[in-house]
A and B are shown apart, each in its own frame.
Chain A
């Protein structure tokens, strides 16, 4: 039943968008009401779809329901789009609709004062719908379509407070940075299309989909010779191109720079971007296309694509965690923590464990949404203040926000038995078995995570309030209830991925054909010790610090230059501004000048020569040809004029001329007589 109406899940939010787009500013509750209603229905349908997927699964096989329809036809080929329901998409829609719905409800409180409230919900709904469409896509083209729409929505929402120049700048940065990755995705998609002749993911009738066995076997045989790199497997090239897209969307190094700036948007948007939508899209895409990444895996050796993915993921995990340590903006710390956690997910996928990377995506969505909404509650309560050094002691004024925030922190730090513990530990377990270097990098990141989260907790909720510019207060119920619900899941969700409870249900659900690794006490104990020591160190540094009371970070003096580098995020913004952006601007000026100086220059020169020649020609005409002719003409004319002047028509004149003539002839006669010899 739900299988035939899968399209309703993304369609309802889209319809809500279309409807609210035509609403006027004062129709506030109609707007948010429609959007929340649409998302609630989608949420119910999504849980139903998830339930169907769970119950209809046969032992050891993946349940998959794929549909398709013809979108357009060129030549004799149809381009097909469609939807697919399988464990991956089912668990994802279930999470997205649920977390999304809570964020929507939260937004009614958070955005209450905003004058563009109506428009805000319109965009939120479009964002949700696009993400749901992306997740359910059974065609890489459709996925790309929704992928880009997700990008547009994030652009609109990050820049929602458009009157702030920083927000406008951040929105543009997010769009352009992700678009650079998207071009990679696009080329990968074209390459895959050229090699497979199809972009359907799964084809339930003929088995022609790109992820169906026949096509994967075909792809595995292909190689290509690349300039610089030599011979490579086609699947590796395609996988890495697709990964470029994921790097942009999921903010992996070196395309991570947009995500921290995306904080300029309203906090509920940040929560949506960091948990349920935008950044989850990249990780989801890798999980979805993983069979292509895994091609070329032999005897447990990771394929080239997987090695690259795992390396970039683990590097990002540590790199972002380092930066997070030195940030003072409450949301910025969380932003870098998201980048770092995305790094873990990508690492998990790169290590070949789709289930573990994906499980971390799900659990992270809950506790990160919780933390962001919590930070929103803090900012709301502090009247827009975001600097943690000015906060402090808020656990007394904002008790509910505080305890839910603690839960989120413990989950993020990976403390037993919260959800983050189980999901992160699974990834570290794979790293431990496959690549020790990645395991150590991951553990170092985990230590830092615990440290900076403890720092945040201490700075925000403990001690005394350091700035007295604002009077902190607890947020309204519409904002607190989502926090409580998310906190509940942040604590309990780990159970489905716990190896001791019916043998990791989540893993069996996502990839029943693979057997997971045996749980290792060594890994669990060491990560618990690492997380706890991070927390303790954080408490020791910040708990009783004199420097904090004065409004500075005690680490600043201890770490010196390193701290400054971290504060400035390793200067990546400056690097890009001075290289890529400058190069683009230079090329732009160059081509404008090229048109104006070279092309038009040649034109104007030709025009000038033609004009000179024709002027010369005209002068010749005037001077010689016309000149000679004109002068003889005017000579005759003047002669005529002189002559006509004589024709006065008066008898006296004529008599006078006759007399003169007679005298003239008489004189002439006399002269000839005298001169005669």
Chain B
């Protein structure tokens, strides 16, 4: 019998959390060791089953299916395609790095690690679940531990940030939950694969209309689909986040402890983009087609407004949070492009979507590195205010070098990962949304401008006397950052395998929206 790889991956952090319960809160080293092992296990399992995955197939693989509560349409149904595999891989890479980054936290380590490991299980669960029932369970698991991590281990204004994060996300979750209840009542299934098929054939909107007329609501199928699409998308829009639903992100990032910021930026935001591709758009393809153009304007707003807002920030973490909004904007631009009716150029759309999916991975790597690096300086200087630094290159050369590389990856310089994905997105969206894409290039200049200002303020010029004697990065810190830096170069120079992994899925998804 084959190993239930995806279940093992999903539950290994949870198993670690279970073990932690039996440990004393004082054995900090053991707690951290167990947590690291539990967070590292998924990567080991993943490499072992990698050969079982066929990247040329667009269908779900590594499937596990067990009936659960048939009356409620709940089935334990796991599976990944190229998209899921890429995100599981990203999660598996980021998990141990985030746990390692947590080694500097000495306040109630047991409770912290417990929450952290549960959070990781929730994220793996979201990327592998193929049935709404447990998808939603994991979706909410992604929310609650993060709330406590921010609220308990956060910075000075953590209550506000945690509350804002919670309310925003919950708001979206409720909309999605209600939508899915109606969908279930109309179709009798929570199965994403079945629902996507129904969405593609138009059956879903018909069933929704039937259900509505039985309930005495005389709305048209298209109106119902529109409501369904918007309700489901709201959850994802907030998670990505797309302008103007983004203001929770800078607050949450600024207040969250470093490792939580890493997970938030690298993984939680990807749940939003993933949701669009896995759920919102395949279930309601006609609505997605009709809304592609207007939604692209919101993506553009994220790109331009996010970049400008980042430029005005004095707080390092807020600045990087806004740059995340900008980068996820590129991602969404590529995603909406595939649904657009203005072009039927499959090659351009394949480039846009391939670029967007790669951008998810790249942003995961780069944002994780940037937030980690900010954490490094915050641990030393206890401030995130850009104006409090200056001339650090002289005393922290390794830190300066790694930070500048991460920054350049975010700016999208060739040779590093960000360039490849942004280039592909632009190449594709230029064909689909031409004026919009030209406007989006403003973001490229502004991003360079604020990042170079940041480098100038932090590292160049004469050394700020307040910063005298700050030690350079420790061995542990270099060890944490180096896999991320190595991946930036690797993907930047040799992106072929990554794109091969998702190409079949991308073409399949594009097929949904052709004609």
Contact = CB atoms under 8 A, between A and B. Distances in A.
Interface string A298-325: 0000000000000000000000000000
Contacts of A76: 347, 350
A179 B311 CA distance: 17
Given A588-B308, A588-B309, A592-B313, 7 more contacts: A162-B394, A163-B394, A172-B453, A176-B452, A187-B430, A584-B449, A595-B246
A159 B452 CA distance: 12
A193 B427 contact: yes
B462 A75 contact: no
Nearest to A167: B460
B441 A75 contact: no
A669 to B, nearest CB: 73
A579 interface: no
A72 interface: yes
Contacts of A599: 244, 247
B180 to A, nearest CB: 25
Interface of A is mostly: helix
27 contacts: A70-B496, A71-B496, A74-B355, A146-B414, A152-B413, A155-B452, A162-B461, A163-B391, A163-B461, A164-B461, A165-B460, A165-B461, A168-B456, A168-B460, A169-B456, A176-B452, A186-B444, A194-B348, A584-B446, A587-B308, A589-B312, A591-B308, A595-B309, A599-B244, A600-B247, A603-B164, A607-B167
A183 interface: yes
A77 B503 CA distance: 11
Most buried by A among B310, B393, B437, B460: B460
A592 B318 CA distance: 11
Contact of B351 (A74, A146, A183, A587): A74
A73 B56 CA distance: 12
B459 A591 contact: no
A463 to B, nearest CB: 37
Interface string B438-474: 1001001110111011001001111100000000000
A121 B350 CA distance: 42
A77 B349 CA distance: 11
Contacts of B506: 74-75
Interface string B488-499: 000000011001
Contacts of B507: 75
Nearest to A152: B413
Contacts of B453: 172
A588 B441 contact: no
B49 interface: no
B126 interface: no
Interface string B180-198: 0000000000000000000
A149 B414 contact: yes
B459 A72 contact: no
- Closest 6 pairs between A and B when the two form their complex, measured CB to CB: A75-B350, A168-B460, A145-B414, A592-B312, A588-B311, A588-B312
Contact of A72 (B461, B463, B499): B499
B444 A74 contact: no
B423 to A, nearest CB: 7
B337 to A, nearest CB: 13
A393 B496 CA distance: 61
A595 B393 contact: no
A187 B438 contact: yes
A74 B353 CA distance: 9
B420 interface: yes
B248 to A, nearest CB: 9
B445 A162 contact: no
A190 B448 contact: no
A190 B427 contact: yes
A559 interface: no
B441 A186 contact: yes
Interface in A122-174: 141, 144-146, 148-149, 152, 155, 159, 162-165, 167-169, 171-172
B127 interface: no
Contacts of B427: 190, 193
B419 interface: yes
B491 to A, nearest CB: 10
B372 interface: no
Contact of B420 (A72, A155, A180, A591): A72
Contacts of A75: 346-347, 349-351, 354, 503, 506-507
A72 B441 contact: no
A309 B503 CA distance: 41
A74 B448 contact: no
B424 interface: yes
Contact of B305 (A72, A145, A187, A591): A591
Nearest to A589: B312
B104 to A, nearest CB: 27
Contacts of A607: 167
Given A74-B355, A75-B346, A179 B444 contact: yes
B461 A168 contact: yes
B452 A591 contact: no
B73 interface: no
A623 interface: no
Contacts of B207: none
Contacts of B413: 148-149, 152
B500 interface: yes
B408 interface: yes
A63 interface: no
A183 B446 CA distance: 11
A104 interface: no
Interface string A406-428: 00000000000000000000000
Most buried by A among B349, B452, B459: B452
A588 B313 CA distance: 9
B12 to A, nearest CB: 33
A594 interface: yes
Most buried by A among B311, B346, B349, B450: B311
A587 B301 CA distance: 13
Nearest to B463: A163
Interface in B385-412: 391, 393-394, 408
A169 B460 CA distance: 9
A76 B419 CA distance: 21
Nearest to B447: A179
A156 B444 CA distance: 19
Nearest to B168: A603
Nearest to A172: B452
B445 A594 contact: no
Contact of B424 (A74, A183, A191): A74
A197 B246 CA distance: 37
B426 interface: yes
